Structure 1
Amino acid sequence: MIEIFEAIKQSAIEIKHLIETGDTGKSELENSTGDTQLKLDIQSDKIIESIFSKVPSIKQIVSEEQEAVVPLHQDGQYLIAYDPLDGSSLVDVNLSVGSIFGIYEDEFTGKNLIASVYVVFGPRVEMVVAQTDVKMYRLLNGEFKFIQNIKLNEKGKLNAPGSTQNCWAPYHKQLIDDIFNDGYRLRYSGGMVPDLHQILLKGGGLFSYPGTTDRPKGKLRQLFEVFPFAFVFEKAGGQAIDGFDRVLNIATTHIHDTSPCFFGSNEEINRVKEVYKANEK
C-alpha cells in the first residue's frame, strides 16, 4: 500500500505543475457521462496511468475519463478507481480542484474499498489519506509532510447543497431551507473535493447531491467520487448515505454508476435520514 501512496504523491506533484502551466481549454472528446473533456482531464489521466503502470501491486485501474477497466499487473493485489482532476472546469477561474482515488480489493464495489485518498490543488496542495483513520499531509518544499489527523464533530456549521435546485424534491428543498434557518453557513464552490475538504477541516456539516427530477440516480459517480469520500467521512467519525442507507452498501452494476449522496457529521446525516424516511415512497 505504501508504494501506491508514493505513486499518488508523485502524480500530485506532476498534476500541480500541469495545472500551473497546462492548457485549460476543451478537447473534442466526451467522457462516458457525456461531459466534454478538458485537456487538463486527459493529461492528468495520462500522468496517473503512467505512474500506476510502474507499481506491481496494482492489478487494475479504472478512470472516470475512460470507458473500461485497464489491466496492469496480473499478480497485483489492488484495484484503483480514480477521478484524475475533479472540478477541472474551475481551473480557468483559479478555484481549487482535486484528484480522488478509491483503493479496492477483489472487485470494484463499495464493500471492497479498503483505503481512499484525495488531493486538493488550491493555494496549498494537501493530500488526505483514509485507512483506519484520516490523516492530512501538505506539500512543502517538494515533499508531503504530515500535518494533522482529521476528526469530525457530532454537529457541524456548514451546508453545501449541490445539484440544480429547480429539480429538487419539495421535501429536499424544505430540508435545506430548514438547515439554513438553523444558522448553518453556505459553503459551495461547485468543486466536490474542496467543498468536502472544507467540511472535514471545519469539523462538520452537510454536503448533499440528491436524486433529482432530471437525474433520479444522482450525478456523482460511485467508484470515483462517492465511495472514496464515503470511506473518508466514516473513518473521520461521520456518515455517508444515499438518503436512506449507507452509501458503501450500494450495489454497483457498472463502473460508471452514479448515486445520490449525503456526506456529513452525525447530526446532519441523521436529520437527512429522518426527512427522507418520512417521505419514502
Structure 2
Amino acid sequence: MNVILEAIQKSAIRIKNAIDVKDIGYSQEQNSSGETQLQLDIQSDLIIEEELSRIPSVHTIASEEKEHPMMLNENGRYFIAFDPLDGSSLVDVNLSVGSIFGIYDGVFSPEKMIASCYVVYGPRVELVFADEEKVSLYLLQAGEFEYVKEIRLNEKGKINAPGGTQQFWAPYHKAMIDSFFARGYRLRYSGGMVPDLHQILLKGGGLFSYPGASDKPEGKLRMLFEVFPFAFIFEKAGGKAVDGTKRVMENEPRHIHDTSPCFFGSKDEIDEVISVYAGQQ
C-alpha cells in the first residue's frame, strides 16, 4: 500500500505542475458522461495511469475519463478507481480542485474497499489518505508530502454544502436544507466536491449533500470514483455517508460509471437526513 500512496503522491506533484503551466482549453474529446474534456483532464488522467502502471501489484485501473477499466498486471491484486481532476472547470477561475482515488482488493466493490485518498490543489497542496486504521492529512512541502495530523470529525458541525440545482429538489429536501440554514449553518459550496468535503473534514463537521432530484433521480456523482472513496474517509473519520436512507457503501454499482445520491457529514447531520428521508418512504 505504501507503494501505491507514493505513486499517488508523485502523480499529485505532476498534476500540480500541469495546473500551474498547462493550457486549460477544451479538447475535442468527450469523457464517459458526454462532457467535453479539458486538456488538464486528459493530462491528469495520463499522469495517474503512467504512475500506477509501474506498480506490479495494481491489477486494474478505472478512470472517470475512460469508458472501460484497463487491466495493467494480470497477477496484480489491487483495483484502483480515480477521478483524475475533479472540478477541473474551476481551474480557469482559480478555485481549488482535486484528485480522488478508491483502492479496492480484487474487485470494484464497496465491500472490498481497503483505502481511499484525495488531493486538494489549492493555495497549498494537501493529501488525505484513509485506511482501516485512521484518516491522515499530509501537506506538500519542498517537493515532499509530510504528515500533519489525524483527522477526526465532531459529532455535529456548522457547515452546509448543498449540491444540485434547487429547482429540481424535492420539497422535503429543500425544507431540510433551509432548516439547517435557519439554525445558523454556514453556506460553503464552491461547486468542487473535493474542496467542499475537505472543508467539512478539517472544520470538524457539517453536511454535504447531492440528492437524487427530478433532473437526476440517481444523483450526479459516481459511486466508484467519487462517492465510495469519500464515504470510506468520512466513516473512518467518525462521520457517516448515506444515500438518503442507508449507508451508501451498501450500494453495488452495475457499471463503473453508475451514480448515486449521497450525503456526507458528521453524525448529527446525517442522522437528521436519514430521519427526513425515512418519512418519505
Normalised-by-shorter TM-score class: over 0.9
In structure 2, C-alpha distance between the alignment counterparts of 1:251 and 1:222, rounded to whole Å: 9
- Cα deviation, 1:67-108, whole Å, max 9, x if unaligned, reads 101000111110000000000000000000000000001211
- Paired AA for residue 170 in structure 2: A
In structure 1, C-alpha distance between the alignment counterparts of 2:36 and 2:184, rounded to whole Å: 38
- Paired AA for residue 203 in structure 1: G
Determine if the alignment matches structure 1 residue 247 to structure 2 residue 268: no
How far 1:111 sits from its partner (Å)?
1.2
In structure 2, C-alpha distance between the alignment counterparts of 1:86 and 1:171, rounded to whole Å: 29
Determine if the alignment matches structure 1 residue 121 to structure 2 residue 147: no
- Cα deviation, 1:13-56, whole Å, max 9, x if unaligned, reads 00000000001111111111121111100000000001111011
- Paired AA for residue 255 in structure 2: H
Determine if the alignment matches structure 1 residue 75 to structure 2 residue 75: yes
- Paired AA for residue 258 in structure 2: D
- Paired AA for residue 79 in structure 1: F
In structure 1, C-alpha distance between the alignment counterparts of 2:112 and 2:34, rounded to whole Å: 28
How far 1:261 sits from its partner (Å)?
0.1
Counterpart residue number, 2:51: 51
Counterpart residue number, 1:202: 203
How far 1:112 sits from its partner (Å)?
1.0
Counterpart residue number, 1:4: 4
Alignment of 1:1-281 (within 5 A): 1-131=1-131, 132-280=133-281
In structure 2, C-alpha distance between the alignment counterparts of 1:113 and 1:181, rounded to whole Å: 37
CA RMSD of aligned residues (A): 0.5
Q: Which ranges in structure 1 are unaligned for 5 or more consecutive residues? A: none
Give runs of ≥4 in structure 1 deviating > 4 Å. Answer: none
How far 1:109 sits from its partner (Å)?
1.1
- Identity among equivalent positions (%) equals 64
- Cα deviation, 1:159-216, whole Å, max 9, x if unaligned, reads 0000000000000000000000011000000000000000000000000000000100
- Paired AA for residue 265 in structure 1: S
In structure 2, C-alpha distance between the alignment counterparts of 1:73 and 1:223, rounded to whole Å: 20
Q: Secondary structure at the match of 2:18?
A: helix
In structure 2, C-alpha distance between the alignment counterparts of 1:239 and 1:126, rounded to whole Å: 22
Q: Secondary structure at the match of 2:207?
A: strand
- Cα deviation, 1:253-276, whole Å, max 9, x if unaligned, reads 000000000000000000000000
Q: Secondary structure at the match of 1:244?
A: coil
- When the two structures are aligned, how many residues end up with a matched partner? 280
For normalisation by structure 2, the TM-score amounts to: 0.99
- Cα deviation, 1:108-154, whole Å, max 9, x if unaligned, reads 11111110000000000000000121000000000000011100000
In structure 2, C-alpha distance between the alignment counterparts of 1:122 and 1:20, rounded to whole Å: 11
In structure 2, C-alpha distance between the alignment counterparts of 1:113 and 1:28, rounded to whole Å: 34
In structure 2, C-alpha distance between the alignment counterparts of 1:140 and 1:106, rounded to whole Å: 34
Q: Secondary structure at the match of 2:29?
A: strand
Q: Secondary structure at the match of 2:194?
A: helix
In structure 2, C-alpha distance between the alignment counterparts of 1:14 and 1:32, rounded to whole Å: 24
In structure 1, C-alpha distance between the alignment counterparts of 2:27 and 2:234, rounded to whole Å: 34
In structure 1, C-alpha distance between the alignment counterparts of 2:68 and 2:135, rounded to whole Å: 30
